[in-house]
Amino acid sequence: MQNQYNVPVIEVKNVKKQFGDYFANNDISLKVESGTIFGLLGPNGAGKTTLIRMINNIYMPDAGTITIFGNPVSEDTQNQVAYLPEERGLYKKQKVIDQLIYFAQLKGVEKSVAKKRAEQWLIRFDAASWANKKIQDLSKGMAQKVQFISTLLHEPKLLILDEPFSGFDPINAELLKEVILELKAQGKTIILSTHVMEQVEQMCDDICLINKGKAILQGNVREIKKSFGRDTILLEFEGDANFILDNPMLKVVNQTAHRIELKIIDSSFDSKSFFNELNQKLEVYKFELVEPSFHEIFIQSVKGNEVEIG
């Protein structure tokens, strides 16, 4: 996807970061295009947080360059970026409104403006009545909302959200998702780091999957899925499905009592005759030939660690 200015919001080129003998980031390159939601994926300890910290000018890369809107990362680019760290942190003994104003001021917003925006966002998140409460008197979910609001008050063009949905109940998670999509619609760019692959499929345009400090898979979400082909069978049924496990052409990816996700591992597999066999032995509610889920792609890629697409 090309943006109208042709300048990527973030461009990471051959970045390396080393702690002692350990390479947190080893030659990572990626581009984030304007107005997209970019998924930054990878197992724990893959080097995502290190990369995010370098984009935020908290760490300096040992080698390579990072630019934001074409400018090298510096103190000046910090005010253009919003950062919601995975490990949330607020002053426990301070009032919600005071903290929101403080964090916004640190990003260069004037106090009166920050106050007005904070009040508006608290209303949007149905939290206006907490403004004068201390964080220690709020529930975890409430504090998560406050922390999310704190990232928005300087009206950044780029938001980096690390596991933004953790700690939210389904209703508030839906509200948060709505706000994130709204921000995207306003033309803002969002980097979403998450372990929940359903969110990646639902929200992200592009992704980069990092493992052991290296980018092992990146590109457009649709294209990545397409490139894996329709090699997965989604099956919902009633009955004893154990006979499927004996089929050497299929591998069970995911199994619950009445639902199985199967991967076709032999190209000579005939899905039509398999469908007929199922119909004879089981009550089939759903039979679908699909691209693999991102859950599967994630596991496969990390385990394989050689696949390079995009």
Partner 1 sequence: MGKYTKIKTIIAHEYLSKVKTKGFLIGTILGPLGLVALLGIIVYISMNFGDTSKKLAIVDNEGTIYTELIKKDSSLYYKADKNVDALKKELQEENIDGYVIIPEDILDKGNVSVYTGGGGGLGLISSLEDNLTSIVRVKRLERLGTDASVIDLIRQEVTVETNKITETGETEKDDTKAMAYVGYGLGFAMYFLVFIYGSFVSRGVIEEKSNRIIEVLASSARPFEIMMGKVIGIGLVGLTQIIFWLLLGFGLLTILGPLIFGDPESLKTMTDMAEAQGGGMASQTQGMSIPGVDFTLIIGFLFYFILGYFTYATFFAGVGAAVDNEQDAAQLQLPITLPIILAIMITPQIMNNPDSTLAVVLSIVPLTSPLIMIVRIAATNVPIIEIAASIAALIGFFFFAVWVSAKIYRIGILMTGKKPKFSDLIKWIRTA
Q: Considering only residues 126 through 185, tell me which ones interact with partner 1, judged by CB under 8 A.
A: 150
Taking the CA atoms of 215, 220, 225 and 226 in sequence, report the sign of the dihedral they define.
negative
Contacts 24+ apart (CB under 8 A), 259-264: 259/234, 259/235, 260/233, 260/235, 261/232, 261/233, 261/234, 261/235, 261/293, 261/296, 262/232, 262/233, 262/235, 263/231, 263/232, 263/233, 263/292, 263/296, 264/231, 264/232, 264/233
20 vs 170, beta carbon nearer partner 1: 20
Report phi then psi at 189, rounded to 5: -105, 140
> What is the closest distance, in whole angstroms, from the C-beta atom of residue 276 to partner 1 in the complex?
57
Query: Pick from 38, 83, 130, 148: which binds partner 1 (CB under 8 A)?
Result: 83
Taking CB under 8 A as the binding criterion, the range among 80-88, 125-133, 212-220, 259-267 that sits at the site for partner 1 is 80-88
Q: Is residue 78 part of the contact set for partner 1 (CB under 8 A)?
A: yes
> Could you give the CA distance from residue 10 to residue 96 in angstroms, rounded to a whole number?
32
Q: Tell me which stretch binds partner 1 (CB under 8 A): 5-13, 89-97, 173-181, 249-257.
A: 89-97
87 binds partner 1 (CB under 8 A): yes
| Of residues 26 and 77, the one with the C-beta less far from partner 1 | 77
CB of 98 to partner 1, least distance (A): 7
Q: How many CB atoms lie within 10 A of CB 285?
A: 11
Q: How far from 310 is each of 8, 12, 232, 258, 262, CA to CA, in Å?
A: 17, 16, 21, 36, 25
* Cβ–Cβ < 8 Å for 33, 9: yes
* Sole window of 76-84, 178-186, 215-223, 291-299 interacting with partner 1 (rule: CB under 8 A): 76-84
CB 68 within 8 A of CB 9: yes
What residues between 95 and 134 interact with partner 1 by CB under 8 A? 98, 102-103, 105-108
Of the listed pieces 78-86, 183-191, 227-235, 288-296, which binds partner 1 according to CB under 8 A? 78-86
Judged by CB under 8 A, the residue of 71, 94, 129, 279 near partner 1 is 94
Q: Which is nearer to partner 1, 21 or 75 (CB)?
A: 75
List of residues contacting partner 1 (CB under 8 A)? 53, 56-58, 75, 78-79, 81, 83, 85, 87-92, 94, 98, 102-103, 105-108, 150
